[in-house]
Amino acid sequence: LHVANFDDDLLTSYLVDPDTGTARTVGVVSTGGGPRVVTIAPGSTHAAVGTKDDGVSIYALDPVHGRAKEVAS
């Protein structure tokens, strides 16, 4: 699960426990520019984050831990 935080310019990554539904933070990265939307294609290893200044950054998603790491902006 990945959530854009517009006010703090962050992308937060969570792992969700399949038994309890509890979400645990596993990573936070700065996006700059007020992230508005996070898009991940089914089965993809990357996320695209659109920002208020019409920018787009690409993040690699760790397949084991779910953390995001910026790879292009």
DSSP symbol at 45 = S
Six token digits for residue 31: 């996006």
Q: Please compute the mean of the pLDDT values over residues 6-19 and round it to a whole number.
A: 94
Please tell me the predicted confidence (pLDDT) of residue 73. 75
- Do 45 and 15 touch, CB atoms closer than 8 A? no
Checking if the pLDDT of 65 tops 90, the result is no
CB of 28 closer than 8 Å to CB of 11: yes
Place of tokens 């962050």: 10
Q: What values do phi and psi take at 34, rounded to 5?
A: 65, 85
pLDDT exceeds 90 at position 3: yes
* Mean pLDDT within 64-69: 90
Q: Supply the mean pLDDT for the chain.
A: 93
Mean predicted confidence (pLDDT) in 52-71: 91
- Distance separating alpha carbons of residues 10 and 60, to the nearest angstrom: 15
